[in-house]
Amino acid sequence: MPAIKTVLSFGLVAIPITLHTATQQGDVGFHQLHAEDQRRIRYKKVCEGCGREVRQEDIVKGYEFEKNRHVVVTDGELEAIKTEKERAIQILHFVEPGSISSICYDRAYYALPEPGGEKAFELLRLALLEEGKTAVGKTVLGTKETLMAVFPLEGGMAVQTLFFADEIKAPPQAKARPNANPAELELARKLLRSMDAPFDLADVRDEYQAKLRQLLESKISGEELAVPKKSAEINVMDLMEAFKQSIEQNQKPAPKKSKKRA
């Protein structure tokens, strides 16, 4: 996806920036094949009126205002109705990062200043860092107004799109909420503390993708597939006993004391 040029605006300050996608897919991709001859399955865009395949450059946007009746809208017309305010990321508030629910976050971008905006960009980044705040704003991307959060990084800033409130479903309600006695809760807290450790994203790997690549390499080279042994079935045990055994597994051995020389 190409970089998006926009303006980060708050008060009377306008900072020209570019947004670069911050994530990428690393999954193994598969094609759909015809089982009979293993040839690719293709999807064609066909006009339902004339039955002919249509090229991408011959496709236009249309809004259906009545059954089978459309009004055509061009990209130029969609851009023309935008105001300068809607072309920019207009910051509305500065908030505590924890006040935004993790469910609200969608796509992530890196923000970089355009020529002429470096000083204001750096001042905003430092101010957000020192105040411990996240900026919340909105802009129009494509044909949709988009809510965004802007937060500082050590080397720049990141922008993450947010869902609006009416786009988020209400959580499903559990049929019943069982009571937890203090002893059970204390064991649960103790298990959490025993697993408490610094988190580094670089330490976590997609292990299944590695196995999938190994499978494909084996099939390409004609080697026999090595199927891992089935792990032992999980025994359902008493909840308190499960907590206790889990805590014991996570307890680190006490460091050995060095013997002093006589």
Domain boundaries, given as residue ranges, for the chain: 4-23+80-163, 180-196+240-250
Give which of 178, 182, 104, 138 is closest to 10, Cα–Cα. Answer: 138
Give which of 260, 19, 26 is closest to 146, Cα–Cα. Answer: 19
User: How are beta strands 13-21 and 69-73 bridged, if at all?
Assistant: unpaired
Q: Give 203 or 14, the one with higher predicted confidence.
A: 14
Q: What is the per-residue pLDDT for 254? A: 57
Long-range contacts of 77-86 (CB under 8 A, 24+ apart): 78/143, 82/140, 85/9, 86/139, 86/140, 86/145
Looking at the chain, which runs of residues are DSSP E strands?
Answer: 4-10, 13-21, 61-66, 69-73, 89-95, 105-113, 134-141, 144-152, 157-162
Q: What is the pTM of this model?
A: 0.72
Residue where the block lists tokens 């190994």:
214
Distance (Å, rounded) from C-alpha 105 to C-alpha 9? 21
Residue 80 has pLDDT above 90, yes or no: no
Joined tokens for residue 209: 């993708």
Q: What is the per-residue pLDDT for 231? A: 59
Band of pLDDT at residue 262, cut at 50, 70 and 90: very low
Q: Give 66 or 256, the one with higher predicted confidence.
A: 66
Query: Mean pLDDT of all residues in the chain?
Result: 86
Give which of 95, 87, 84, 93 is closest to 19, Cα–Cα. Answer: 87
Per-residue pLDDT tens over the stretch 137-182: 999 887 889 999 999 998 899 999 999 999 999 988 877 878 888 8
Q: Averaged over 71-89, what is the pLDDT?
A: 85
Residue where the block lists tokens 């459309």:
70
Helix (H) or strand (E) holding 127: helix 118-131
With a CB cutoff of 8 Å and minimum separation 6, the contacts of 146 are: 138, 139, 140, 161, 162
Class of domain 4-23+80-163: mainly beta
Joined tokens for residue 158: 């990141």
Distance (Å, rounded) from C-alpha 10 to C-alpha 184? 50
Band of pLDDT at residue 252, cut at 50, 70 and 90: low
Q: Averaged over 26-32, what is the pLDDT?
A: 86
Per-residue pLDDT tens over the stretch 186-211: 888 888 888 888 878 788 787 878 88
Distance (Å, rounded) from C-alpha 50 to C-alpha 35? 31
